[in-house]
Amino acid sequence: MTFDRLVGRVLRPCLATILFSLISTPSASAQALQVTIPSSRQYEFHSKRTGGNYRLFVSLPESYTANDTVRYPVLYVLDGNGFFGLATETHRLLRLRAEVPELIIVGVGYPVGAFSETSIPRWLDYTPSADATADSLRATQLGSRARSGELRSGGGPQFVAILRDEIIPFVDASYRTTRDRGLFGDSLGGLLAAYVLVTTPELFSRYALSSPSLWWNNGDIFAREAAYFRTHPALNARVFLSVGADEEKDRMVATVDRLARILDDRHYTGLVMSAHVFEGEDHVSVGPAAVSRSMRFLYSTSK
């Protein structure tokens, strides 16, 4: 074997190893940094009313500057741990073609690491009435994540008071806002939004009820709506009501259809409503579609 061939047999594997290392090993200048959403921030918020702790996520419009005087509508998004990022980036995509106006988006969530960790506090905050049977069933489903007696329902009215008396004033004091407020809620969050709509609708002017859990506590939300209608001929709100076609037919699809028919038949003065069934979507997959369509209906710039 010649010297050149011997050197080649030795060097070729070494060169291949070096080349592979250069390709597969991150550059020394590449740093692993925490991902953040631009023009956004979060606050650890403590309720003086209940002692409960919340995490508020806030994203600002592209044109928002400290030296300006322009004020902006605010969209409050429940389940902020799961829906804030989705709502913020959906809004920014829709803004590329000016389909919606600039908004301040506020996600209302909890000081936890993952959305799955919000099961217990949202069960309390988003349910307008207590249901011990539902509590027991849900505790069984959660297993070790729900310690004995920790899971309970019926805190909706108190949570609405926190929104009204503490969170909204904090946002209004911190940013240049208008009185044009919207509320997006999904699942139990949608139930809570429906509760606000038929009890204190003046708190918000736009409502997105995505796959709302209207079945809660034997459908007591329908009794609340009937009580509101007896003394209120007007319901000054823009409402988008939606559900996935592949969700539970009786508990979800049928109850959403029922509420849509009732609101339509009431002929409330001031109510502008659209109801939509998303084909091919289930209770989890429907979220992104509902966020996009809700924004486009509630804030359409073409109306």
Q: Find where tokens 């509420």 sit.
A: 259
Helix (H) or strand (E) holding 93: helix 80-95
| Local mean pLDDT, 10-residue blocks, the chain (303 residues) | 49 50 57 91 96 97 93 98 98 96 98 95 98 94 78 97 98 98 98 98 98 98 98 98 98 98 98 98 98 97 55
Q: What is the pLDDT of residue 246?
A: 98
pLDDT of residue 30: 85
Whether the Cβ atoms of residue 76 and residue 275 lie closer than 8 Å to each other = no
Q: Is the separation of the CB atoms in 55 and 45 below 8 Å?
A: yes
Helix (H) or strand (E) holding 186: strand 177-186
Q: Cβ neighbours of residue 155 under 8 Å, at least 6 residues apart?
A: 124, 125, 127
Q: Using CA atoms, how far apart are residues 259 and 112, in angstroms rounded to an integer? A: 33
Q: Which pLDDT tens digit goes with each residue over 262-289? A: 999 999 999 999 999 999 999 999 999 9
* Residue whose C-alpha is closest to residue 237's, from 184, 165, 298, 163: 298
- The whole-model pTM stands at 0.89
Compute the distance between CA of residue 176 and CA of residue 70 in angstroms, rounded to an integer. Answer: 7
Type of residue at 211: S
Domain residue ranges in the chain: 41-298
Q: What is the mean pLDDT of the chain?
A: 92
Consecutive H or E run containing 100: none
Measured distance CA(258)–CA(108) in Å, rounded: 28
Superfamily of domain 41-298: Alpha/Beta hydrolase fold, catalytic domain (3.40.50.1820)
